[in-house]
Amino acid sequence: MLYTVIKALHIIFMVSYFAGIFYLVRIFVYYKDTDEFPEEKKRILREQYTFMARRLWNIITVPAGVIMAVCGLVMIFLNPGLMKMGWFHMKLTFLIGLAAYHYWCWKKVLQLKNINGNILPIANIKLRQANEIATFILFLVVFTVILKSMVIEYWWQLITGFFVLVFLIMMTVKLVNKNKKNK
C-alpha cells in the first residue's frame, strides 16, 4: 500500500512540476514578445513577467520537482528491482534530459531577474521551440513507463513516431510564428 501511495504522490507532483515548467517557458515567450511594445507598456509587463517567473519557479515548479524526485527515490528504495529493468534505465536517461532542461529554465529565471527589464538575448522562435522540449520529454517518459519492456522491443517504431511528432510540433510552431509576424 505504501508503494502505491508514494506512486500516486509521484504522479501528482510530476503533473504539478510539468505544469510549472510549461507555463514558465511560456512566460519567457511573453516577456520576449514585449520587445516591440512602447516603453511604458514594455516596462510594466516585463516587471510583471519577471515577478511571475520567479514566483512560479520558487513556489510551484521547484517544490513540485523536489517532491516528485523524493517520491521517485522512495519508490526505488521500496522496489530496488526497478534498477534492473531496461525500460527504467531509459526513463532515467530521459530524466537526465529533463534535469538539463530544468537547469536551462533556472538560468533563464536568473537572467530575467538580472537584466532588469532589458531585452532577453534569445530569438523569440528559439523560446517558442524550447517551450516544446518539456512536452517531448513528457511523451518519452510516459510512453516508457506505460509500455515498459515493449519500449525496448519496439524501440525503432517509437523513435520514428517520436521524431515525426517532434517534426510536426516544430513545424506548427514555425507556422504559427510566421503567421503571427505577417499580421
Question: Mean per-residue pLDDT for 147-165?
Answer: 84
Q: What is the pLDDT of residue 2?
A: 96
163-183 tens-digit pLDDT: 898 888 888 878 887 776 666
| Stated pTM of the model | 0.87
Our CA dihedral for 104, 109, 110, 116, rounded to 10 degrees, sits at 140
For residue 180, what is its C-alpha cell? 503571427
Give the residue-averaged pLDDT of 111-115.
94
Which of 32-36, 89-93, 170-174 has the lowest average pLDDT? Answer: 170-174
- Can you say whether residue 85 is alpha, beta or left, with left for phi > 0 and alpha for psi between -120 and 50 degrees? beta
Average pLDDT over residues 71-100: 96
Q: What burial class does residue 31 get, using C-beta atoms within 10 Å of its C-beta: 0-12 exposed, 13-18 middle, 19+ buried?
A: buried
Mean pLDDT for the stretch of residues 21-49: 96
What is the arithmetic mean of pLDDT over 121-132? 90
With bands split at pLDDT 50, 70 and 90, how would you rate the model's confidence at 119? very high
DSSP 82-140: GGG-HHHHHHHHHHHHHHHHHHHHHHHHHHHHHTTTS--SS-HHHHHHHTTHHHHHHHH
User: What pLDDT shows up at residue 80?
Assistant: 97
Average pLDDT (94-105) is: 97
Each residue of 63-83: pLDDT tens digit? 999 999 999 999 999 999 999
